[in-house]
Chains A and B, each alone.
Chain A
Amino acid sequence: MTDGREPIDPAAVLQDDALLDALSRRAAPAGALSDPAARLLADLASALDEVPVPVAGPAPARGPHRLVLRPVVAVAAAACAAVVVAAALAAPQVGRPPVATPALASASTGNTSTAPSAASRWIEEAEALLAPADVGAADLERAGVLLSRAQQAVRAEELRNGASPDREALDAARRLLTRRLRQRTPRPAAGLVSQPPLGTGTRPTSGERQDDGAPDGPTGKDAAAADHEQPDGGGVGTSTDDDAASVQPAPGAWTTTTRAHDGADDGTDDGTGGDDHKDSGVDQGDRASPPAPGGGD
């Protein structure tokens, strides 16, 4: 073992020094490579030399110091642009989006020269899909995708120029899409069923919580009324089991409708992110069930 306390052979030290000098020059003699350590180091140096040194851009005339600075600036600009665009897309559609420099906008979108025309084309296509009152689910989905793309393009245009000529058309198309979605889903049906938040799965699975959102049927009305009549909203609710028995789901199923959030007035259901569902559920529930005092019993 070489634990540092063994005597050192000066000749071996010099020999190893010469070997490392040769390896660092990448000129180790073939005989030296019979040494496994030397071969390992030679292979390592060779492998590392093969890895291409990343260079930011083909601009040798501008000098390596520019190449050093460029990637840092470019990555920072691209990251800033990505953050700005993500924030703008996530923000509600009010007010003017933050104005970014053209460099940032182009960094975020790449080929933005065709963005306005592409956006208008996507908007027109979506409007055509949404034109029939009885638009199908596939068309709705396709229109949603198109409008999402159009929104990104319009956002990019707004980031670059401060405004986009397609903004009004886009907003109109989005309103149309919302209308069509509402027409298609009069109640928060299966598509809007929310999953219970993690860690809150102790809620009872009794019938009144298992409404599958059947539109406007007597069962739905009764169940909705039963929910409204829950005294504490989050209780076991055995008083409504009879009414809800007709909509019993599979045992153990945990499909809480949005009205379940509505009923959870005691705060036992935190319903993270479920505010929209809750609101729509209230509306739909009100439409589905007329005021029914005592209807739960």
Chain B
Amino acid sequence: MTWLMDDAMQATLVRQACEGETSALDRLVEHFRPKVFRYCLSRLGSVELADDVTQEVCLGLVRALPTYEQRGRPLSAFVFGIAANQVAMARRGLARSREVPHSQLPDRASADVGPAHHAVLADQVARLLGPLRRLPDRQREVLLLRVVAQLSAEETAAVMGMTSGAVRVAQHRALQRLRELVGGEGDD
């Protein structure tokens, strides 16, 4: 189950979207976009890059929905499966390219929050992600999907191709490891 939108509602919206109902598509994108963005941000660490990847994920969702078939797999698993793939592609691209993506041409004033606010937030997120980066990939991914993407254990299992029991064990181990890491830092 995804919070704020239960399975039945999601299934209805998916069916309506598949039938061409744009308002249903709007609601689905509106529902997933912030979560996908935060998940991408937690994985990539860059607002601009996360925004780009979020766009790709949403475009992928919009393109795929007309031919989407519900086979018992939650839509959130489908969406975050796309997101995980897009994040991996972005990381590979980032390793090759040194360009700095920017959301608009830099010759006009930005109406966004100031750069100081951005810097503080980015620093805070980077600091909090530090201990998580020391976890094994799978454990870190489980925690991010569970907490940041707000997926249930079952949805996380569907995204990661695991059983829900394996997800619960993995998240338990991840939390134990995290306690050791954070506690160790605190002792220092």
Contact = CB atoms under 8 A, between A and B. Distances in A.
User: Do A and B interact with each other, yes or no?
Assistant: yes
A69 B168 contact: no
Interface in B122-148: 124-125, 128-129, 131-132, 143, 146-148
Interface residues of A, number: 46
Contacts of B183: 36
B125 A64 contact: no
B169 interface: yes
A24 B151 contact: yes
Given A8-B172, A68-B59, A54 B103 contact: yes
A20 interface: yes
Contacts of B41: 48, 51
Contacts of B55: 68, 71-72
B180 interface: yes
Contacts of B34: 53
Contact of B176 (A2, A21, A74): A2
A17 B176 CA distance: 12
Chain B, interface size category, equals 35 or more
B105 A82 contact: yes
A87 B41 CA distance: 35
Chain A at the B interface: SS class = helix
Interface of A: 1-2, 4, 8, 12-14, 16-17, 19-21, 23-25, 35-38, 40-41, 43-45, 47-54, 63-65, 68-69, 71-72, 74-75, 78, 82, 107-108, 110
Interface of B: 3, 22-23, 25-26, 29-30, 33-34, 37-38, 41-42, 47, 51, 54-55, 58-59, 62, 103-105, 107-108, 112-113, 121, 124-125, 128-129, 131-132, 143, 146-148, 150-153, 168-169, 171-173, 175-180, 182-183, 186
Given A48-B42, A63-B25, 12 more contacts: A12-B172, A20-B143, A20-B171, A24-B152, A36-B182, A44-B148, A53-B38, A54-B47, A63-B22, A65-B29, A68-B29, A69-B62
